[in-house]
A and B are shown apart, each in its own frame.
Chain A
Amino acid sequence: MSLEKTHPKEVKQILSKYPPEHKRSAVMPLLYLAQREEGYVNKAAMQDIAQMLEITETEVASIVGFYTLYHDEKAGKYRMQVCTDLPCALRGADEFMQNLCGNLGIKVGETTPDGVVTLEAVTCLAACDKAPMFQIQGPNGIKYHENMTVDRTMELVETLKKSDRGVK
């Protein structure tokens, strides 16, 4: 179903930000909107956005492929994205990540068996003074978690798992 039908208010608001003759600018916010429900953008959504903005489906797909916050495959409901770049690594991010893998029982890039958390290593998130840190990309957007310990992270994971079971 078209985003214009499912989210008419949001689509209108997004399109109003850009000159009508340059509505292609709306492709990124529309992709976020399309991704909101399932955590990834499926082919039908790309076709829908392409049609709305009068560009090709390939052009939309190239945006999905280029930017790391868009996904074209289903993963865990929450993507836990740990920064392991130089400044964070100087404050223990690599050890943090290793311990997290051990505690979750998964490797970087894998998803917990219940499908709730996917663990990812990402590049700098502009929080270098508050490492170890990660962001969680989920159905409600992106949220930062800073100055984290493995214990507090595991508590957070439990909360996410519980709320997920509650929804079902």
Chain B
Amino acid sequence: MTHILLRHRDIPDLNKFEVYKKNGGFAAFKKAVTKMQPTEVTDVVKNSGLRGRGGAGFPTGMKWSFIDNKNWPHYVVANADESEPGTFKDREIMEGNPFQFLEGLALASYAVGATAAYVYLRGEFWELAAFLDEKIAEMEEAGYLGDKLFGTGYSLKIFTHLGAGAYICGEETALLESLEGKRGQPRVRPPFPPSYGLYGKPTIINNVETFTNVPLILANGADWYKSMGTADSAGVKVFSLSGRVRKPGNYELPFGTTFRQLIYEHGGGIQEGRPVKAIMPAGASSSLIVVDDKVLDTPMDYATVRTLGADLGSASVIVLDDTVSLDWVINKTIHFFKHESCGKCTTCREGTFWMRNITDRIHSGNGSQGDVDLLLNVARQMQGKCLCALGEFSTMAVVTGIERFPQDFKKVVKA
């Protein structure tokens, strides 16, 4: 198929300015700035059915329309913090198709009247940030960024900003705190960023993949985009496939593709031809899905995955085969969340600490069934009481792992 986001796989050297331009690049941005009202841009995005690709799936155009027009200046921020275990799509998009991402960011900025936009990259993307800086400079040079663009009154600058190793900064208000030069700890919400964001000003934050959809939506129209995917989830998604599959990697597919198609047709099936035991469709934050034939034939969109007792999230599909024990899996995920807890709210700070102690006891073979029950109890007690989604996410694999795979825990506890 022809790619929409991973277009660099079809067009060689798409990350070079001239190549991107020759393939229709920047036409949508130029047309928007010279011939469209900002609200018209938002309307097209709204009508396309595009939903946020960072995990929450919030309708993108609706988010943009929430921008507070009584308070200025406005900012747009690209969330390029990509830190969810199992997610590695934004990096490929920015490396392979950087201009389409930056053009989408520019279109969003025009739509909400922002004259400065930031790309917040995780600190590990050090080389990528330098690469994006070059691309931004090329756009400035060619007159696609800077003052009074295309002879209009609209000006825009884009800046990169490197984080420094903190998963929590993928949470949008923690990201804003970090960008303001503070510790990356989430804010109490409401107010939400479209009314109170960067420096207290109205701010739109979207994921890299979300922005990258926008130029082609503007170029081809909302109906074109809606014709792909499902009624609930329009368009295409980059699925990051990892775990025990033969061919892990990014696969851009329409929403509604089944797990079986992703894992077997694209991912080449499971190593050694083993059966799939469980799937985590949203990375380490995911609930664990017990896999049978019916599950494998389930179409992946936001609403349908929910009927399996999980969320599609950022579509970071981690596949576990029958060699993997769930007590080990949750030991891994709990250690991750314990390490990444920002410490601001007691529930998450203390909860992940005690979950870590209990899971270590169980995993080392020194636990009892009572410890498994206690772990489940702690995780359930945390739910609904954390300041942000990170704390809630830390419990998902624990609760669903113990509830849906009790035999894996019976095997490791002392009688």
Known contacts A86-B329, A86-B333, A126-B87: A63-B181 contact under CB 8 Å: yes
Closest to B157 in A: A17
Known contacts A28-B161, A127-B88: A142-B126 contact under CB 8 Å: yes
Closest to A87 in B: B242
Closest to B91 in A: A126
- Chain A, residues 8-44, CB within 8 Å of chain B (1/0): the string is 0000000001110010111111011000000000000
Cα distance A90–B277 when bound, in Å?
13
A77-116 contacts to B (CB < 8 Å):
85-87, 89-91
Contact at A86–B164, with CB atoms within 8 Å? no
Q: Does residue A47 face the partner (Cβ distance < 8 Å to B)?
A: no
Contact at A90–B244, with CB atoms within 8 Å? yes
- Chain A, residues 110-129, CB within 8 Å of chain B (1/0): the string is 00000000000011111111
Cα distance A63–B84 when bound, in Å?
22
Contact at A69–B124, with CB atoms within 8 Å? yes
Contact at A135–B161, with CB atoms within 8 Å? no
Q: How many residues of B contact A (CB 8 A)?
A: 52
Closest to A83 in B: B85
Closest to B323 in A: A90
Contact at B183–A63, with CB atoms within 8 Å? yes
B373-411 contacts to A (CB < 8 Å):
none
Closest to B159 in A: A17
Closest to A141 in B: B126
- Chain B, residues 328-361, CB within 8 Å of chain A (1/0): the string is 0100110010011010000000000000000000
- Between B86, B87, B130, B342, the greatest number of chain A beta carbons within 10 A of the residue's beta carbon is seen for B86
Q: Does residue B320 face the partner (Cβ distance < 8 Å to A)?
A: yes
Task: Please count the residue pairs between chain A and chain B whose beta carbons lie under 8 angstroms apart in the complex.
Answer: 135
- Chain B, residues 79-99, CB within 8 Å of chain A (1/0): the string is 000111111101100000000
B113-147 contacts to A (CB < 8 Å):
122-127, 130
- Chain A residues, Cβ within 8 Å of B125: 126
Cα distance A32–B182 when bound, in Å?
15
- Chain A residues, Cβ within 8 Å of B240: 128-129
- Chain B residues, Cβ within 8 Å of A66: 166, 183-184, 342
Closest to A64 in B: B164
Known contacts A25-B180, A87-B243: A67-B199 contact under CB 8 Å: no
- Chain B residues, Cβ within 8 Å of A26: 181
Contact at A142–B124, with CB atoms within 8 Å? yes
- Chain A residues, Cβ within 8 Å of B56: none
**Partner of A28 from B84, B126, B164, B250 at Cβ < 8 Å:** B164
- Chain A, residues 132-155, CB within 8 Å of chain B (1/0): the string is 000100000111100000000000
Q: Does residue B241 face the partner (Cβ distance < 8 Å to A)?
A: yes
Cα distance A85–B181 when bound, in Å?
28
Contact at B85–A63, with CB atoms within 8 Å? no
Cα distance A88–B204 when bound, in Å?
33
What's the minimum C-beta distance from B301 to chain A, rounded to whole angstroms? 23
- Chain A residues, Cβ within 8 Å of B339: 123
Q: Does residue B315 face the partner (Cβ distance < 8 Å to A)?
A: no
- Between A67, A122, A129, A144, the greatest number of chain B beta carbons within 10 A of the residue's beta carbon is seen for A129
Contact at B332–A86, with CB atoms within 8 Å? yes
A52-67 contacts to B (CB < 8 Å):
53, 55, 59, 62-63, 66-67
Q: Does residue A68 face the partner (Cβ distance < 8 Å to B)?
A: yes
Q: Does residue B259 face the partner (Cβ distance < 8 Å to A)?
A: no
Closest to B267 in A: A129
Cα distance A128–B314 when bound, in Å?
14
Contact at B242–A90, with CB atoms within 8 Å? yes
Known contacts A28-B161, A124-B336, A129-B248: A90-B324 contact under CB 8 Å: yes
- Chain A residues, Cβ within 8 Å of B130: 141
- Chain A residues, Cβ within 8 Å of B182: 24, 59, 63
- Chain A residues, Cβ within 8 Å of B85: 85-87, 123-124, 128
Contact at B320–A90, with CB atoms within 8 Å? yes
Q: Does residue B309 face the partner (Cβ distance < 8 Å to A)?
A: no
Sorted nearest first, the 7 A-B pairs with minimum C-beta distance are A67-B164, A68-B165, A24-B181, A129-B248, A142-B126, A128-B242, A124-B85
8 pairs from A and B in contact (CB 8 Å cutoff): A27-B181, A28-B181, A67-B164, A86-B284, A126-B83, A126-B90, A126-B91, A129-B250
Other A-B pairs beyond A24-B180, A31-B164, A67-B166, 20, CB < 8 Å: A22-B181, A24-B182, A25-B161, A28-B164, A29-B162, A32-B162, A63-B183, A66-B184, A85-B284, A85-B336, A87-B85, A90-B244, A124-B86, A126-B82, A127-B91, A128-B316, A128-B318, A129-B249, A129-B250, A143-B126
